[in-house]
Amino acid sequence: MKVSDLAQQLGGELIGDGDVQVHGVSPVDAVKPGHVTLAENEQFFAKAEASDAAAIVVSLPVDQSRKPLIRVRKTTLALAKMLAIFHPAQKPEPGVHPTAFVGAGVDLGGGVHIGPNAVVRDGATIGDRVVIHSGTVVGSDGFGYALDGATRVKIPQVGTVVIEDDVEIGANVAIDRSTLGATVIKRGTKIDNLVQIAHNVVIGENTVVCGLVGISGSVTIGDNVTLAGQVGMADHVTIGSNATIGAQSGVTKDLEGGKYYLGSPAVPIGLASRQYAVWANLPELSRRVRELEKQLEELKRRSTQSR
Amino acid sequence: MKVSDLAQQLGGELIGDGDVQVHGVSPVDAVKPGHVTLAENEQFFAKAEASDAAAIVVSLPVDQSRKPLIRVRKTTLALAKMLAIFHPAQKPEPGVHPTAFVGAGVDLGGGVHIGPNAVVRDGATIGDRVVIHSGTVVGSDGFGYALDGATRVKIPQVGTVVIEDDVEIGANVAIDRSTLGATVIKRGTKIDNLVQIAHNVVIGENTVVCGLVGISGSVTIGDNVTLAGQVGMADHVTIGSNATIGAQSGVTKDLEGGKYYLGSPAVPIGLASRQYAVWANLPELSRRVRELEKQLEELKRRSTQSR
Amino acid sequence: MKVSDLAQQLGGELIGDGDVQVHGVSPVDAVKPGHVTLAENEQFFAKAEASDAAAIVVSLPVDQSRKPLIRVRKTTLALAKMLAIFHPAQKPEPGVHPTAFVGAGVDLGGGVHIGPNAVVRDGATIGDRVVIHSGTVVGSDGFGYALDGATRVKIPQVGTVVIEDDVEIGANVAIDRSTLGATVIKRGTKIDNLVQIAHNVVIGENTVVCGLVGISGSVTIGDNVTLAGQVGMADHVTIGSNATIGAQSGVTKDLEGGKYYLGSPAVPIGLASRQYAVWANLPELSRRVRELEKQLEELKRRSTQSR
C-alpha cells in the first residue's frame, strides 16, 4: 500500500513522498522495516525517525521529516483504522463458540460473538454485534435474600438481562439478571474483564467500565460515563451522564454528570486533589500542630509572667 | 388468587377488600394491571396508589387506601414469598449442568445445583441444596510457595473443601482447597460473584460475602457476618460473629463480633465516621493550621514588642 | 519412613531418636497419630509436644524434647518438601483438561497443565511446566477503543501473550493479549485467583501477584516483585525489581525497586506508616486544632486587654 493511499483512508494530511510503500503497522519501540509507526509526542517522534519505519503517523505540528508523514487529529483512532487495514481477518468473529452455553429463549442479535466457556442464561436479550468474551456469565442469579428470623430466604430472581447493540463485555465478567424487570446495558457500552454488575443495574450508552469494578444492585449509570479500575458503587446510587470516576473510588451517593470524581468516598476532583495533597503531608501537618501547641504553651507562660 | 388468600400466605394483615384478584407481582415503578406491588416507604406508597396495582403490600402504619392493603413486618420477605408463589418453576433447578466439571470423589448432597461451566475439583464435599453458579471454581489449588533460594517451590495443596448445606455461591467465584485439612463454608452462607476465598479459610453459618471480596489464607469468619463489596482481609485474621464490614474496607487484624467496622484499615464505625468527617474537610483543617501559625507569629511579635 | 531419613531429605538436623517411624504430615492443630508436624514458634511447639505427633519439624533454637526433632532453616520449605514426599501423586498433573479450550496455533511447552474450563486463545505461547488453573482466560482481547466522535471504535488487538516456563496462574484470572507485540509473564512468576492483567503488560521473573489485583495496560513490573491482594495499578507505570506493594494499594506512578510501598496512592512504607498513624488519630488531631484556635483567641483577647 502506498503512503498516499493510507493517508487518504485515515483522513490525514500527507507530508512528503506519497509513493513509499508500507505493508504493516508497528509500535514505535519495535518497528519492522517497511512498517508505518505512530508518534504521539516529541520523544516518540525522535524514536520513529531513528527507526526502520517507512512512514510516521503524527498528531504533532511537525511539517518536515526524513520520512513521509501522515498528520491526523488522533493517533489512537488512526491506530484502530490501520490495525483493521493491515489485519483484515478481524477478530472476534461472529458466532457462538461450541464450548459456550446459551440458555433457552435467549434472543441473539446478528453478528454476535460469544467466546469460549462463556455463559448466557435463559431469557437474556443480546443485541446486534455484541461481543461476549471467554468465561463471562450473563444473566446469573441476582444476590438477594430476605431474613426470616435467622435464616436467609432467597428472593427468586425472575427478571432478565438486556444487552443492547454494539456492547462489548470482557473475560470472566458477571452480569446478574434482575429480580423483576431487567438489568440493562445500553448501546455501545464497553466492559473490561472481571467486572461485577448486580441485579437491576442500568448502564447507559457508550459508557466504559474498567477491570474489577463492582456495581451494586439497582445502580443507574448515565451515558458516556467512565468508571476506572476497581471502582465500587453502593446500591441504588445514580451517576449522571459524562461523569468520570477515578480508579479505586467508592461511590456512596448520587453523583451529578459531567464531572470528574475521585476517592472513597468519591468527591469532585478539585476537593479530592486537595484532600490527597494534605494526605501526602499528613505527618508534617501533625508535627506542625504539635509545634503550635508547644509555642502556644510557651506564649501563655510568658504572658502570665509578664503580667 | 384472592388478596385475602395472599395475605394469609404472607402472614400479613388484610386491610380492605379481600376478594380482589391478583395474578402477579410487579415493582412499584412498572406495575402491570392486576399485579400486587410493594411500598416500603411513603414515596413508594404514593406511587403504588397511583398505579394500576390491584393491591399493595406495605410495612408502613397506613390503614386506609383506595386499594386493598396487606400489612407485613418486612416487605423484602413478602417479596421473596410472592415471587415464589407467582413464579413456582423456581430456579436454579437441582442438577449438575452438562457443561460443568465435577472431579473424582466429590461428595454431592441432595438437591445440589451446579451451573454451566462451573468446576468442582476432586474430593470436595458439597452439602444438601447447595447452589454453585456459572463459572465458579470450588477446590482450586491454594496459593502457597516456599522460597528455596531465589526459586519459589510450590507447597502441594493436598487438603480439600467442604461446602455445607444451603450455601449459595455466585458466578465466577474462586474457592481454594486447603494445604492440609479443609477450607470450610458453613451452613446457609451466601457468596456473591467474583469473590476470592483462599486456602484454609473457615466461614461460619449464615454469613454474607458480597462481590469482589478477597479473603486471604487461614482467615476465620464467624456466623452472621456481613462483608460488603470489595472488602479485603489479611491472612490469619479472625472476625467474630455478627460483625459487619463496610464496603472497600481492609481488615488487617482480628475484629470482635457484633460490631460494624469501616475503612482501610477497618476500625469501629464510630471512629471511622469521625475519621471520614475530618477527611471530608481535610483541606480546611490544613488551612486552619496555616492560619494558626500566622496568628501565633503575629502574637509572638506583638508580645515581644510590648515587653 | 524413619525420622532420620526424613531429616536427611529435608537437609535438617536430627535431634533425638531417628528410628521413630513417620507416615504423614499434619497441621499442628489437627495432628494424626504417627504424623510429623511443624512448629514455627513457641506456642505451636507446645501444641506439637502435647499432640500425637511422632516427630516435630522446628526452626526454633530448641534442642530437647520428648519427641524427635528435625531442625531446619525454614519450616515453609520443609512443609513443601514433606507434602511432596507424603503425597507423591502430585497435582496438578500435566495435560490439557478435556473441558479446556486451547485455540489455534498455541505453542504449548512440555509438562503444561491446563485446568477444567480454562481458555487459551489463538497464538499464545505457553512455556514448560506452566500451570493454568480452572476458568482462567489467557489471551483475551485487550480493552482498547478510540473515540470517533461519540462512538468508540475498537482498536483491533492483534498481538499475543507469552507465558514463560514455570509460571503458575490461579483460577478465573484474565490475561489479555497485546494490541501489537506481546503481553509477557516471565519465568517462575506466580499469579493468584481473579487477577486482571491488561494488554501489553510485562511482568518479570519470580514475581508474586495476589488475588484480585488489577494491572492496567502497558505496565512493566520487575523481577521478584510482590503485589499483595487487591492492588491496582494505573496504566504505563513501571515497578522496579524486588519491590513489595501492600494490600489494596493504588500505584499511580513509577516506583523504584527494592522498597516496600503502601497506600492509595502508594508511597514508601515509612511515609505510609506515618500517614496511617495520623489517620488513626485524625479526629483527635482535629479536636486539638479546635482547642488551639480557642486558646489562641483567649490569648489574643488577654493580650489586647493587658495593653
CA A61/CA B233 separation, integer angstroms: 51
Cβ atoms of B199 and B159 within 8 Å: the answer is: yes
Using CB atoms, pick whichever of A171, A229, A296 lies closest to residue C137: A171
Burial (0-12, 13-18, 19+ Cβ within 10 Å), A238 = middle
pLDDT tens-digit readout, C29-43: 899 999 999 998 999
**Interval A50-98: pLDDT, tens:** 999 999 999 988 888 999 999 999 999 999 999 999 998 766 889 999 9
Query: B211 and A230 in contact by Cβ < 8 A?
Result: no
Q: Quick one: CATH architecture of A3-86?
A: 3-Layer(aba) Sandwich (3.40)
Question: Given this model, what pLDDT does residue C29 score?
Answer: 87
User: What is the three-class DSSP state of A125?
Assistant: strand
Of B35, B113, B133, B199, the active-site residue reads B199
ipTM over 0.90: yes
**Inter-chain touch C79–B303, beta carbons under 8 Å:** no
CA atoms B120, C189, A28, A87: torsion sign: negative
Are C193 and B274 in contact (CB < 8 Å)? Answer: no
CB count in 10 Å sphere of residue C121: 29
Please list the pLDDT of chain B residue by residue as tens digits (307 residues): 999 999 999 999 999 999 999 999 999 989 999 999 999 899 999 999 999 999 999 998 888 899 999 999 999 999 999 999 999 876 688 999 999 999 999 999 999 999 999 999 999 999 999 999 999 999 999 999 998 887 889 999 999 999 999 999 999 999 999 999 899 999 999 999 999 999 999 999 999 999 999 999 999 999 999 999 999 999 999 999 999 999 999 999 999 999 999 999 999 999 999 999 999 999 999 999 999 999 999 988 887 776 5
List CB contacts (< 8 A) between A250 and chain B: 230, 247-248
Please, are residues C54 and C38 in contact by the beta-carbon 8 Å criterion?
Answer: no
Residues C135, A117: C-beta atoms closer than 8 Å: yes
The CB density around residue B87, as the number of other CB atoms within 10 Å, is 15
Burial of B123 (C-beta count, 10 Å sphere; 0-12/13-18/19+): middle
Q: Which of B171, B230, B286 sits opposite A214 (nearest CB)?
A: B230
CB contact under 8 A, C170 and B174: yes
Which is it for strands B202-203 and B182-185: parallel, antiparallel or unpaired? Answer: parallel
User: Å from B140 to nearest chain C CA?
Assistant: 7
Report in angstroms the alpha-carbon separations of A297 from A81, A305, B291, B296, B305: 70, 12, 17, 11, 19
A interface mutation test: which of B119, B208, B286 has the most A CBs within 10 A?
A: B286
**A95-271: CATH topology:** UDP N-Acetylglucosamine Acyltransferase; domain 1 (2.160.10)
Nearest to A211 by CA among B198, C226, C173, C207: C173
Residue from C75, C117, C206, C287 to probe the interface with B (highest B Cβ count within 10 Å): C117
User: Which residues of chain B lie closer than 8 angstroms to A278, CB-CB?
Assistant: 282-283, 285-286
CA distance C91 to C87: 9
Q: How far apart are CA B215 and CA B227, in angstroms?
A: 10
Q: How far, CA to CA in Å, does B87 sit from each of A155, B81, B128, B129, C262?
A: 11, 10, 23, 19, 50
Say whether C151 and A117 touch across the interface (CB within 8 A).
no
- The CATH number of C95-270 is which of 3.30.70.20, 3.40.50.620, 2.30.33.40, 2.160.10.10? 2.160.10.10
Q: Measured between CB atoms, which of C152, C212, C278 is closest to A283? A: C278
Same fold, C3-86 and C95-270: no
Radius of gyration of chain A, Cα coordinates, nearest whole angstrom: 27
| B26-34: long-range pairs with CB below 8 Å, 24+ | B26/A180, B26/B53, B27/A179, B27/A180, B27/A181, B30/A180, B30/A181
Which chains touch C (3+ CB pairs under 8 A)?
A: A, B
C242 Cα to chain B: minimum distance (Å): 11
Strand blocks (E) in C257-305: 260-262, 267-268
**In angstroms, what separates the C-alpha of A149 from chain C's closest C-alpha?**
34
Catalytic residues of C: 199
pLDDT for position B307: 58
Q: Which grid coordinates are listed for B264? A: 482501610
Cell digits of residue A10: 485515515
Cβ within 8 Å, pair B116-A99 = no
Cα A174 to Cα A18, C25, C126, C214, C282, distances in angstroms: 49, 39, 27, 16, 38
Residues of A in contact with C152 (CB under 8 A): 188, 190, 206, 208
Which residues of chain C make contact with B156, given a CB cutoff of 8 A?
A: 80, 83-84, 87, 90-91
What distance in Å separates the CA atoms of residue B301 and residue B132, rounded to the nearest whole number? 73
Per-residue model confidence (pLDDT) at position A205? 97
Q: Please give the residue of chain C at the shortest CA–CA distance from B177.
A: C171
Spot the catalytic one: A97, A113, A199, A236: A199
Residue of A nearest to C294 (CA): A296
Which pTM value belongs to this model?
0.95
How far lies B284's CA from each of B278, B281, B287, in Å? 9, 5, 5
Residue B203 CA to residue B207 CA, distance in Å, equals: 7
Cα angle B264, B268, B273; round to 5:
75
Neighbours of chain A (3+ CB pairs under 8 A): B, C
- List all chains that touch chain B, counting a touch as 3 or more CB pairs closer than 8 Å: A, C
Comparing alpha-carbon positions, the chain A residue that sits nearest to B25 is: A180
Burial classification of residue A205, based on how many CB atoms lie within 10 Å of its CB (0-12 exposed, 13-18 middle, 19 or more buried): buried
State whether C99 and A99 contact (CB < 8 Å). yes
DSSP lists the bridge partners of residue C196 as C174, C214
Cα–Cα dist A39/A37, whole Å: 7
How far apart are the CA of A114 and the nearest CA of chain B, in angstroms?
A: 14
Asked if C117 and A133 come within 8 Å (Cβ–Cβ), the reply is no
Residue B151 is nearest to which of C172, C188, C299, comparing CB atoms?
A: C188
Looking at residue A307, what is its pLDDT? 58
- Closest residue by Cα to residue A286 from C269, B300, C289: C289
Angle of helix A75-86 versus helix A3-10 axis, rounded to 10: 120
Q: Which residues have C-beta within 8 Å of that of residue B5, sequence separation ≥ 6? A: none
| DSSP string for residues in A99-113 | T-EE-TT-EE-TT-E
- Quick check: C296 and A300 CB within 8 A? no
The predicted-structure confidence for C245-292, as pLDDT tens digits, reads as follows 999 999 999 999 999 999 999 999 999 999 999 999 999 999 999 999
Q: Tens-digit pLDDT profile for chain A (307 aa)?
A: 999 999 999 999 999 999 999 999 999 989 999 999 999 899 999 999 999 999 999 998 888 899 999 999 999 999 999 999 999 876 688 999 999 999 999 999 999 999 999 999 999 999 999 999 999 999 999 999 998 887 889 999 999 999 999 999 999 999 999 999 899 999 999 999 999 999 999 999 999 999 999 999 999 999 999 999 999 999 999 999 999 999 999 999 999 999 999 999 999 999 999 999 999 999 999 999 999 999 999 988 887 776 5
Instruction: Tell me, yes or no, if A236 is annotated catalytic.
Output: no
Provide the 3-class DSSP secondary structure of residue B245.
strand
pLDDT of res. C88: 84
Euclidean distance between CA atoms A168 and C176, whole angstroms = 14
Is A177 in contact with A160 (CB distance < 8 Å)? yes
Contact C172, B135 (CB under 8 A): yes
Q: Which of A26, A247, A283 sits opposite C275 (nearest CB)?
A: A283
Cα separation, B93 vs B281, whole angstroms: 52
Mean pLDDT of C152-177: 96
pLDDT of C62-75, one tens digit each? 888 999 999 999 99
Residue spans per domain, chain C: 3-86, 95-270, 272-305
Provide the number of CB pairs (under 8 Å) joining chain A to chain C: 179
* Nearest chain B alpha carbon to C134: B137
| Block residue for cell numbers 485446568 | C115
Tell me which residue in C117, C157, C181 faces A117 most closely, judged by beta carbons.
C117
Q: What are phi and psi of C125, to 5 degrees?
A: -115, 120
